Amino acid sequence: MSNSEHKRGELAISVQHLGLVYKTTIDRRPTLKARMSTLGRGTKHTRIIHAIDDVSLNVPYGSVLGVVGANGAGKSSLMRVISGILPPTRGRVEVYGKVSTLLALGVGFNPSLSGRENVQLGGLAAGMSRKEIQEQFEEIADFAELGEAIDAPMRTYSSGMFSRLGFSVAVTIKPDILIVDEALSTGDAKFKEKSLNKIKELRGEDRALVLVSHGLATIREVCNEVAWLHKGKLIQRGEPNKVVEAYEKFLKVGRSAAIDEDI
């Protein structure tokens, strides 16, 4: 099946000078009690996080953009802005097509419900119709290789089963723009290979893909372009081998001249 609506090379995602700053709580579980007991003492309960700073990117249809970076680099935040979950603080994001929201990770929000029910609920929340989900459900279940476990509560799932189901949902429901966040990093070798093949297959269909992964070999193999983020800034962007090499060097050395200049 090829993507009929969008031609190869047309713009899919345009990120322009994106900045994301947000306020979040310091306590993991903010309580009224904590607020009351520190009233008038000037204790801070929130902190400001500069997640993304002036990032610009373009992703055309028919290409795969790999995003690499250390933990806390802002990779996931960037994906959340592109899928409309977090509103940007500065700049602008234009999306030319239907984005798969990060369904892969949203699957299983209610662990006492079965895999089937969770997939349905996740799909409905993302704005799909019942019919669309029904039509694709068999394919999802087949790809995830869960067997009868698909009707068991998700709290009984192993982490591998969880991510297999998540990945299957993300790649089966065919959006124009697909975002896969770390979903390839779990699962056994056999499933990894299978998911890699699926990604390549999708690339052939002229969809736009954004792949966030720590698996550098995967990134090198499937991406047309790689963006390297560090502490919210776009450090380097370009040809996969070159960027991954620079990133690997950075990982080994701990810091590189390029980053020192920037910070």
Partner 1 sequence: MKVAPVEVYEPYKVGLPPLRKYWRSLWARRAFISEYSRSELHEKHFDSVFGQVWLILNPLLLSGVYFLLIVIIGGHSDKVRYVHLTGCLFLFYFVANSMTAGSKSVVRGQKLILNTAFPRIMLPISVTYISFINFLPTILVFFVIRTALGFPFGWALLWSIPVVLITGIFALGLSILISCATVYFRDISSFLPYFSRTWLYLSPILYEVSTLKPQLRSIEAFNPLFPMLDSWSRSIVHNEVPQVTSLLQGLAWALGILLIGTYFFLSRERDFAVRV
Show the site string, 58-77: x = touches partner 1 by CB under 8 A, - = not.
--------------------
Q: How far is the CB of 64 from partner 1 (least distance, A)?
A: 20
Q: How far is the CB of 77 from partner 1 (least distance, A)?
A: 9
Q: Is the Cβ of residue 169 or residue 246 nearer to partner 1 in the bound state?
A: 169
Task: Enter the tokens of residue 235.
Answer: 């450090």
The site for partner 1, by CB under 8 A, has a size of: 56
Q: How far is the CB of 233 from partner 1 (least distance, A)?
A: 19
Of 6-14, 57-65, 208-216, 247-255, the segment contacting partner 1 by CB under 8 A is 6-14
Longest dimension (CA), the chain: 63
123-182 residues near partner 1, rule: CB under 8 A: 124-127, 129-130, 153
Q: How far is the CB of 104 from partner 1 (least distance, A)?
A: 8
DSSP per residue, the chain: ---SSS-TTSEEEEEEEEEEEEEEESSSS--HHHHHHTTTTT---EEEEEEEEEEEEEEETT-EEEEE--TTSSHHHHHHHHTTSS--SEEEEEE-SPBPPSHHHHTTSSTTSBHHHHHHHHHHHTT--HHHHHHHHHHHHHHHT-GGGGGSBGGG--HHHHHHHHHHHHHHS--SEEEEESGGGSS-HHHHHHHHHHHHHHHTTT-EEEEE-S-HHHHHHH-SEEEEEETTEEEEEE-HHHHHHHHHHHHHHS--HHHHHH-
The CA distances from residue 210 to 44, 80, 89, 95, 149, in Å, are 37, 12, 22, 13, 30
Place of tokens 């093949």: 197
Q: How far is the CB of 189 from partner 1 (least distance, A)?
A: 26
87-106 residues near partner 1, rule: CB under 8 A: 87-99, 101-106
Answer for which of 37, 56, 110, 185 binds partner 1 (CB under 8 A) is 110
Decide: is 238 part of the binding site for partner 1 (CB under 8 A). no
16-55 residues near partner 1, rule: CB under 8 A: 22-25, 29-33, 35, 49
Q: How far is the CB of 121 from partner 1 (least distance, A)?
A: 6
Q: Is the Cβ of residue 169 or residue 226 nearer to partner 1 in the bound state?
A: 169
What does the binding site for partner 1 look like in residue numbers (CB under 8 A)?
10-11, 14, 22-25, 29-33, 35, 49, 80-99, 101-106, 108-110, 112-113, 117, 120-122, 124-127, 129-130, 153
